[in-house]
Amino acid sequence: MKKILITGSNGLLGQKLAELLLAQPDVEVLATSRGENKLETIMPELPFASLDVTDRIQVETVVSLFRPTHIIHTAAMTNVDQCESDREGALLLNRDAVQYLVNACEKYGAHLIHVSTDFIFDGEDGPYTETAEANPVNFYGETKLLAEKIVQQARCKWAILRTVLVYGVAHDYGRTNIVLWVRDSLQAGKVIKVVEDQFRTPTLAEDLAQGCWLAAKHDAEGIFNISGSEMLTPYDMALQVADYFNLDKALIDKADASSFSQPAKRPPKTGFIISKAQKDLGYRPHSFAEGIQIVAEQAARN
């Protein structure tokens, strides 16, 4: 029997994980997030505890009471531009909270599965393997790299799962994603500027949740790339979305990243080689085309 504690269960990955783990016969799950449980109405049977991971005492208390065998840590400050302006907040959530979780895992013998990002790399020579050298180009990436270093020094079992541009549909969720953003804009007849000089291996949120579960199931240790397998530009992604929904591609304007004035710099070419996760964990992600279909079906039900 595995006892798995999820942090950030109100988030995109957290929600998918909660649903997946609840369906596993030999798993006892505890979903946690700061504040209220957004899943209460759609998953009333999901055990939930409120947990702000930036509060050292709360982390210690919740872990000591539940005694998880595994903690899957998804909570983070994921707004990359916000990390640039709120550096203290980004450090507290993306770095310090990880130290609190490591402390609790060491004390109570839990296996930490930590979710990280392609943004620890500079994007000069993607796609990357697990052994590539990190060199972040924005503050979000710096904080996530600091967290990885804390995890790698932990005296408990640990795995770091790195992922890329996650898309999916979540309940009562304020943010959009590349698939729905393109669909909604084109449906409204809006012209969108989409970059053709960034490269990513976009990841369906369900696939990432599956990767996290496989890591826990196999008690995997070390670093694993968990993303989609296709290298695409956001412009390529937008064309595929337009095709699927039969929308007007003329509304998609090619743009260069340099024409955007975002506070945080983005790495140009990231993307991951996922053969280690395929071989060691049996990880099999969907194609981007399949991912669009899954998102479309879920969005239609919401």
Ligand X SMILES: NC(=O)C1=CN([C@@H]2O[C@H](COP(=O)(O)OP(=O)(O)OC[C@H]3O[C@@H](n4cnc5c(N)ncnc54)[C@H](OP(=O)(O)O)[C@@H]3O)[C@@H](O)[C@H]2O)C=CC1
Give the one residue of 5, 13, 110, 120 binding ligand X; rule: CB under 6 A.
Answer: 13
Catalytic residue among 100, 108, 128, 140: 140
Give phi and psi for 161, each to the nearest 5.
-110, 115
Using alpha carbons, list the distances in angstroms from residue 116 to 28, 158, 202, 282. Answer: 24, 13, 14, 20
Name the residue with tokens 């397998």: 229
Eight-class DSSP state of 250: G
193 contact, one of ligand TDO, ligand X, none, CB 5-8 Å limit per kind: ligand TDO
Question: Which of 97, 222, 95, 110 is CA-nearest to residue 162?
Answer: 222
Give the one residue of 193, 244, 278, 296 binding ligand TDO; rule: CB under 6 A.
Answer: 193
Distance, in Å, from the CA atom of 181 to the CA atom of 102, rounded to the nearest integer, reads: 36
Name the residue with tokens 């990357």: 128
Strands 27-33 and 2-7: parallel
The residue among 66 and 167 lying less far from ligand TDO, judged by its C-beta, is: 167
Distance, in Å, from the CA atom of 160 to the CA atom of 179, rounded to the nearest integer, reads: 26
CB 124 within 8 A of CB 248: no
69 binds ligand X (CB under 6 A): no
- Piece in contact with ligand TDO (CB under 6 A), picked from 67-75, 105-113, 117-125, 209-217: 117-125
Give the one residue of 19, 30, 33, 169 binding ligand X; rule: CB under 6 A.
Answer: 33
Least CB distance from residue 270 to ligand TDO, whole Å? 7
What is the footprint of ligand TDO within residues 248-267 (CB under 6 A)? Answer: 266
* Cβ neighbours of 141 (radius 10 Å): 27
143 contact, one of ligand TDO, ligand X, none, CB 5-8 Å limit per kind: none
227 binds ligand TDO (CB under 6 A): no
Distance, in Å, from the CA atom of 140 to the CA atom of 239, rounded to the nearest integer, reads: 29
Determine whether 235 is an active site residue: no
266 contact, one of ligand X, ligand TDO, none, CB 5-8 Å limit per kind: ligand TDO
Give the one residue of 27, 46, 53, 164 binding ligand TDO; rule: CB under 6 A.
Answer: 164
194 binds ligand TDO (CB under 6 A): yes
Least CB distance from residue 166 to ligand X, whole Å? 4
Q: What three-state secondary structure class fits 148? A: helix
Name the residue with tokens 């507290």: 92
Give the one residue of 54, 61, 82, 103 binding ligand X; rule: CB under 6 A.
Answer: 54
166 DSSP β-pair partners: 203
Instruction: Cite the active site residues.
Output: 140
**Binding positions for ligand TDO, rule: CB under 6 A:** 78, 80, 117-119, 164-165, 178, 193-195, 198, 200, 234, 266
**Binding positions for ligand X, rule: CB under 6 A:** 7-8, 10-14, 33-35, 51-54, 74-76, 78, 93, 115, 117, 144, 163-166
